């Protein structure tokens, strides 16, 4: 089942010739749809139409860090009034556990209004963004929209093709994730970096007596990540790269036993995994496009640079890409003059923080995750992890990287000002 977000001013889609098109498809990590929606919201005041096409968002809990797009306050207010309480967990630190419990990042010292990370399912956040977008009079929600190819004329990308229609645009923004159709159709070339792991995601029930904290548990040959979702745990079982079929051949009893060895308090509840359909594979990859754009096209988020799940910062980078794109492209879009130089400016601003973040992720994968997965005896955490326990002040460094990122972005378009917000709302 698919979901498409289409923002128009009432005209037929085939008649619209001046609008920005965002493609956002299903992604386990959530960066795709969120980048598209946030970029669209930031630019709604500056383009006549924004069309966002998307499949149904299906994925695990999403870590939303430090108000990267200036919308946490409204999100918290929405959650307080929400009958189903979509926001279920707040964390002021991040933990890793081997033979000792180590706080990796202390978020309470960051210079923000919200000194914590809010954990919520991707689909709930997408619902929140859709509600926010409805504040704009041109917003329309359309279901079952998926981009299948690009429209190219005279060497310029000028729109996208869906299964049953063609949408023309001044600018196409590909935010459709690590398996990007837009990127592939545009023939953009990238560089891929080796990673030592994949992740198997699943749910187990949670009891009131369970630990509260979101955590990662490292033992010899096994790593399990736990995300507190209130009445259940969202679990990530980290495996060696390409080992999914080997794990399946070993059978469910062996898989459930492995969970119990890492987390004894979940040993009995592992029996809830009655078949492999309840366990989803996230194929981890880290890559980066050499050039994020072509005339009429810009890729952002995982479509431009697939991030490792390490530290859960992929969504932060995607949102920051979207905000930077909105800030840089708002005026050119309004004046109907988006050039290759404008698109190059977006890549120039965002490529450096992406490179630094990916290098840090690759270092952690090599020194911590690969070591743990390859160990067949007792696993001792590396020195940089032990130093976080010995010197608590050092926890502010990973907190800064996780919570704010290398280069934070803030919405600077006209819609960010309360006096310019749609009537009856606040900016």
CATH of the domain at 140: 3.50.50.60
| In a domain? residue 392 | no
Interval 286-303: pLDDT, tens: 999 999 999 999 999 999
Best mean pLDDT range from 200-214, 227-241, 263-277: 263-277
CB 298 within 8 A of CB 150: no
Residue 415 shares a structural domain with residue 327: yes
| In a domain? residue 52 | yes
**Beta-carbon count within 10 A of 152 CB:** 16
pLDDT recorded at residue 423? 52
d(CA 211, CA 173): 42
d(CA 221, CA 377): 8
Residue 31 shares a structural domain with residue 149: yes
pLDDT recorded at residue 57? 42
- Of the two residues 368 and 278, the one the predictor is more confident about is 278
| In a domain? residue 96 | no
Residue 337 shares a structural domain with residue 415: yes
Which of 255, 282, 309 lies at the terminal end of a domain, its last residue? 282
Whether the pLDDT of residue 350 is over 70: the answer is yes
pLDDT recorded at residue 11? 30
Residue 411 shares a structural domain with residue 324: yes
Global pTM reads 0.78
pLDDT recorded at residue 215? 75
| In a domain? residue 329 | yes
What does the radius of gyration of the chain's CA atoms come to, in whole angstroms?
22
Q: Could you give the maximum distance between any two Cα atoms of the chain, in Å? A: 65
Which of 282, 312, 332 lies at the terminal end of a domain, its last residue? 282
pLDDT recorded at residue 358? 96
Which of 282, 309, 332 lies at the terminal end of a domain, its last residue? 282
| In a domain? residue 384 | no
Lowest mean pLDDT: which of 37-46, 144-153, 162-171? 37-46
**Domain range for residue 9?**
3-60+120-193+285-375+406-420
Interval 76-119: pLDDT, tens: 444 444 433 333 344 444 545 445 566 777 777 878 776 666 66
Mean pLDDT of 167-175: 87
CB 163 within 8 A of CB 172: no
d(CA 300, CA 306): 10
| In a domain? residue 391 | no
Residue 273 shares a structural domain with residue 222: yes
Residue 137 shares a structural domain with residue 247: no
Residue 271 shares a structural domain with residue 315: no
Mean pLDDT of 167-186: 89
Q: What is the DSSP string of 299-350?
A: E-GGGT-PPPSGGG-HHHHHHHHHHHHHHHHHHHHHTT---HHHHHHHHHHH
Q: What is the DSSP string of 73-122?
A: HHHHHHHHH-TT----EEESEEEEESSSEEEEEEGGGSSSS--SEEEEEH
Relative to beta strand 215-219, strand 93-97 is parallel
Relative to beta strand 222-228, strand 232-240 is antiparallel
Mean pLDDT of 376-385: 73
pLDDT category of residue 144 using cuts at 50, 70 and 90:
low
pLDDT recorded at residue 242? 92
Residue 56 shares a structural domain with residue 144: yes
Name the 3-class secondary structure at 17.
coil
Residue 128 shares a structural domain with residue 262: no
Burial class (CB in 10 A: 0-12, 13-18, 19+), 111: exposed
Residue 294 shares a structural domain with residue 325: yes
Report residue 43 as tokens. Answer: 């630019």
Q: Which residues contact 318 (CB under 8 A, 6 or more apart)?
A: 31, 32, 34, 35, 175, 300, 301, 302
| In a domain? residue 158 | yes
Q: How many domains does the chain have?
A: 2
Residue 170 shares a structural domain with residue 277: no
pLDDT recorded at residue 382? 75
d(CA 427, CA 423): 10
Residues 200, 95, 100: CA angle, nearest 5 degrees: 105
pLDDT category of residue 412 using cuts at 50, 70 and 90:
confident
pLDDT category of residue 58 using cuts at 50, 70 and 90:
very low
Q: Which region holds residue 354: left if phi is over 0, alpha if psi is between -120 and 50, else beta?
A: alpha
| In a domain? residue 306 | yes
Residue 153 shares a structural domain with residue 230: no
Lowest mean pLDDT: which of 14-18, 236-240, 266-270, 329-333? 14-18
Lowest mean pLDDT: which of 52-66, 117-131, 285-299? 52-66
């Amino acid at each position: 089942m698919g979901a498409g977000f289409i923002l128009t001013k009432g005209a037929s889609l085939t008649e619209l010739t001046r609008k920005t098109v965002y493609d956002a498809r299903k992604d386990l990590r959530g960066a795709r749809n969120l980048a598209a929606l946030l970029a669209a919201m930031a630019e709604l005041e500056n383009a006549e139409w924004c069309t966002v096409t998307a499949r149904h968002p299906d994925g695990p809990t999403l870590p939303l860090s430090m108000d990267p797009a200036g919308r946490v306050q409204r999100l918290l207010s929405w959650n307080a009034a929400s009958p189903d309480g979509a926001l279920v967990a707040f964390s002021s630190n991040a933990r890793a556990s081997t033979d000792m419990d180590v706080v990796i990042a202390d978020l309470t010292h960051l210079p923000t209004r919200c000194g914590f990370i809010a954990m919520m399912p991707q689909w709930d956040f997408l619902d929140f963004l859709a509600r926010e977008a409805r504040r704009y009079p041109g917003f329309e929600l359309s279901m079952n929209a998926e981009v299948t190819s690009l429209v190219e004329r005279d060497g310029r990308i000028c729109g996208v093709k869906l299964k049953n229609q063609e949408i023309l645009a001044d600018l196409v923004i590909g935010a459709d994730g690590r398996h990007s159709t837009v990127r592939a159709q545009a023939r953009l070339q990238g560089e891929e970096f080796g990673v030592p792991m994949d992740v198997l995601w699943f749910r187990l029930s949670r009891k009131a007596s369970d630990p509260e904290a979101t955590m990662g548990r490292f033992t010899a040959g096994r790593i399990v990540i736990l995300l507190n979702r209130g009445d259940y745990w969202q679990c990530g079982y980290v495996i060696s790269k390409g080992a999914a079929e080997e794990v399946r051949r070993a059978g469910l009893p062996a898989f459930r036993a492995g969970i119990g060895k890492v987390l004894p308090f979940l040993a009995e509840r592992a029996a809830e995994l009655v078949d492999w359909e309840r366990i989803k594979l996230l194929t981890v990859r880290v890559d980066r496009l050499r050039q994020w754009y072509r005339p009429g096209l810009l890729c952002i988020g995982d479509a431009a640079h697939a991030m490792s799940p390490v530290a859960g910062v992929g969504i932060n980078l995607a949102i920051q890409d979207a905000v930077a794109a909105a800030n840089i492209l708002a005026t050119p879009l309004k004046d109907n003059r988006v050039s290759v130089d404008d698109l190059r400016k977006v890549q120039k601003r965002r490529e450096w923080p992406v490179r630094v973040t990916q290098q840090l992720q690759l270092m952690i994968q090599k020194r911590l995750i690969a070591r743990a997965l390859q160990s067949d005896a007792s696993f001792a955490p590396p020195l940089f992890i032990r130093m976080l326990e010995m010197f608590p002040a050092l926890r502010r460094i990973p907190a800064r990287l996780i919570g704010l990122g290398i280069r934070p972005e803030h919405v600077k378009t006209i819609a960010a000002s309360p006096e310019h917000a749609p009537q009856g709302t606040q900016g």
